[in-house]
Amino acid sequence: MAKRFFLFILTNILVMLAITIVFGVLSFFFPGLGWGMGMGRDGSLNLVALAVSSLVWGSVGSFISLQLSRWMAKKSMGIQLLDGNTGNPELDWLQGTVKRYALEAGLTMPEVGIYDSSEINAFATGPSKSRSLVAVSSGLLDTMEHAEIEGVIAHEISHIANGDMVTMAIIQGVVNSFVIFFSRIIGWAVGQVVDRDRDDGQSALSYGAQVVTNLVMEILLGFMASMITAWFSRRREFRADAGGAFLAGRGKMIAALQRLQQTERVLDPRGPGLATARISGKSWMAMFSTHPPLEVRIEALRQAQ
């Protein structure tokens, strides 16, 4: 579980680290570029420019991740797309079930796929409601009854209908922006300490210390900020459960979650960045968990009016 969790956090901050490295190198040779990021080559700091650039780059990283999400899911999970004419009754039934619930939710038909895994799980991803993907594991198809699978599919369709992928990308973009902003302020402060006895501009040593501090702080702050995205992910699971109950019926949704309770120990380490998109998943620390406990979700459905 720890490996899975740390891989998920790493996925969220890789783009920010790449931006830091590229701009750190470029702004050393082209001082004007560094000023555009709020950092002058002479060691000065422009908070307004830093805030704007942090917002831009934090949002760009999240937007890129969103646009690539469907493609990355197919590649990382080895997903076999279905067209409803495979000749396999079970797979064609799965395709038809997704189509039925997508129509009921007023959605464009998403791509439907299956990936080979003993994990009992499913996920929805994609850059928009009209360009989405619903994928289920072979383990889920082999283990669950049709009524339970319908609950799972309805839950994933609800994620798409709620626009959860886009909303998560926006939240992640804002979080990334704050991480970049504060890491650079801390890096700037470290650079000032290194050059505290100089009055003729920033030294190479100070600049190097600043860039390294930026990288370290982005990792640490990104790790801490992941609690915010994890909190939102837990909130949206309740909404998707309610949507799944509306589409498939409360009984089927509860039955699906109860079956997951019996099998949630089996997890697939591939595609850690898809953790928030799955129907089931938990972390070794509650604050970082992308999903509420299954028993809490079941009780919320039972108490719903």
145-168 per-position pLDDT tens digit: 999 999 999 999 999 999 988 888
Whether the per-residue pLDDT at 133 is higher than 80: the answer is yes
Using one digit for the tens of pLDDT, what is the confidence trace for 198-218?
A: 666 667 787 788 888 888 898
In this structure, the answer to whether residues 153 and 83 fall within a common structural domain is yes
Which entry of 111, 148, 150, 156 is annotated as an active-site residue? 156
Higher pLDDT, 61 or 144: 144
In this structure, the answer to whether residues 9 and 29 fall within a common structural domain is yes
In degrees rounded to 5, what are phi and psi of residue 136?
-125, 155
Segment 59-64 shows an average pLDDT of 80
What is the structure's pLDDT at 265?
54
What is the structure's pLDDT at 163?
92
In this structure, the answer to whether residues 153 and 254 fall within a common structural domain is yes
Instruction: Write out the residue range of the structural domain in which residue 24 sits.
Output: 2-71+167-226
Instruction: Determine the Cα–Cα distance for residues 164 and 302; give it in Å rounded to an integer.
Output: 23
What is the structure's pLDDT at 274?
47
156 catalytic per annotation? yes
Segment 81-103 shows an average pLDDT of 94
Banded pLDDT at 257 (limits 50, 70, 90): very high
Whether the per-residue pLDDT at 62 is higher than 90: the answer is no
Instruction: Determine the Cα–Cα distance for residues 12 and 40; give it in Å rounded to an integer.
Output: 28
Query: Comparing C-alpha atoms, which of 29, 23, 31 is closest to residue 53?
Result: 23
Instruction: Determine the Cα–Cα distance for residues 57 and 18; give it in Å rounded to an integer.
Output: 11
In this structure, the answer to whether residues 96 and 207 fall within a common structural domain is no
Instruction: Give the total number of structural domains in the chain.
Output: 2
What is the structure's pLDDT at 7?
39
What is the structure's pLDDT at 199?
63
Higher pLDDT, 44 or 153: 153
Give me the CATH number covering residue 87: 3.30.2010.10
Structure tokens, 182:
């504060």
The answer to whether 134 and 114 are in contact (CB under 8 A) is no
Structure tokens, 204:
């190479």
Question: Which amino acid appears at position 224 of this protein?
Answer: M
Query: Comparing C-alpha atoms, which of 155, 141, 150 is closest to residue 91?
Result: 141
Whether the per-residue pLDDT at 197 is higher than 80: the answer is no
In this structure, the answer to whether residues 62 and 94 fall within a common structural domain is no
Residue 85, Cβ neighbours under 10 Å: how many? 9
The pTM of the full predicted model, rounded to 2 decimals, is 0.78
- Distance between start and end Cα atoms, the chain: 35
Banded pLDDT at 144 (limits 50, 70, 90): very high
Instruction: Determine the Cα–Cα distance for residues 295 and 303; give it in Å rounded to an integer.
Output: 12
The three-state (H, E, C) secondary structure of 92-132, written as one string: HHHHHHHHHHHHHCCCCCCEEEEECCCCCCEEEEEEECCEE
